[in-house]
Amino acid sequence: MLIDLRKIDTLIDLWFDEDNNYFDLTAKIMVDDDAVAKFGMNTREEVVISGITIAERIFKRLDPACTFTASARDGERLEAGVTFATIEGNAQALLTAERVALNLMQRMCGIAGTTAEYVREIEGTGAFLVDTRKTTPGLRMLEKYAVTCGGGRNHRLGLDNGIMLKDNHIAVAGSISAAVARAKAHAPILTKIEVECDRVEQVSEALEAGADVIMLDNMTNDAMREAVALVAGRVPLECSGGVRLDTIRGKAETGVDFISVGRITQSAPCVDIGLDDV
């Protein structure tokens, strides 16, 4: 897991503060302090699992002694009606943690499932699906992990993971060549430089300037095929902009190496997962 679990614990505390300002009034009134309960997390529709370890940490944040037993792994596709984890422990704690754990898993599984749909569409083309920075504030680490559970790959995790020279950066620098030269003069030696191009003639300039990766932004499929022929494998090419499930196959067949899709994180629906007494 490309996740810093120390940061996850901090996030979990924030999530509980949001949901439980003072204490869980219902659980305190209705459940004895020493009552023990056993619940099962189950799928209510077909899902691609993501976030089991996070769900376990959520429950154990309120009851460190609880028992969490998972029968599925992240990345596994499950049909509806499958109990994939059981949790046994202090009833008050588990009931208080229920919604936070479900919210998180429903979101992560939704992203994993949506990603898997896009990955299936481009099977056999040689192109890889990658995510973007279009993530929910505060949840990027988890949403990008969910993408990997669905078979996608991560682009930049954050602004410090690489240099991407977009149209506004290039406008400020004066040209693609000037922007790349400045980036190369100051970037850490292992940092890649990607240049965004929306015209084929810009691709030539980016290539000559020494870009490590070239993004083909909102280009037609014909223009991307022309760019692929021009570059001839010298640097990786990324297709970006307005990619949908019904258009991604055609874009992949142009010969690009990567296709970045904001929709897999930005627009993925949450799936239906429940917690029931067992």
Give the 3-state DSSP-derived string for 151-216, with helices as H, strands as E and coil as C: CCECCCCCHHHCEEECHHHHHHHCCHHHHHHHHHHHCCCCCCEEEEECCHHHHHHHHHHCCCEEEE
- 231 vs 237: CA distance, rounded Å: 8
SS3 219: coil
Residue 117: which of 269, 255, 3, 224 has the closest Cα? 269
List of residues 6+ apart from 25 with CB closer than 8 A: none
Catalytic residues: 99, 134, 166, 196, 217
How crowded is the C-beta side of 211, counted as CA atoms within 13 Å? 30
3-state secondary structure at position 9: helix
State how far the Cα of 53 lies from the Cα of 61, in Å rounded to an integer.
Answer: 12
Give, in order, the Cα–Cα distances in Å from 19 to each of 22, 48, 54, 58. Answer: 9, 26, 17, 13
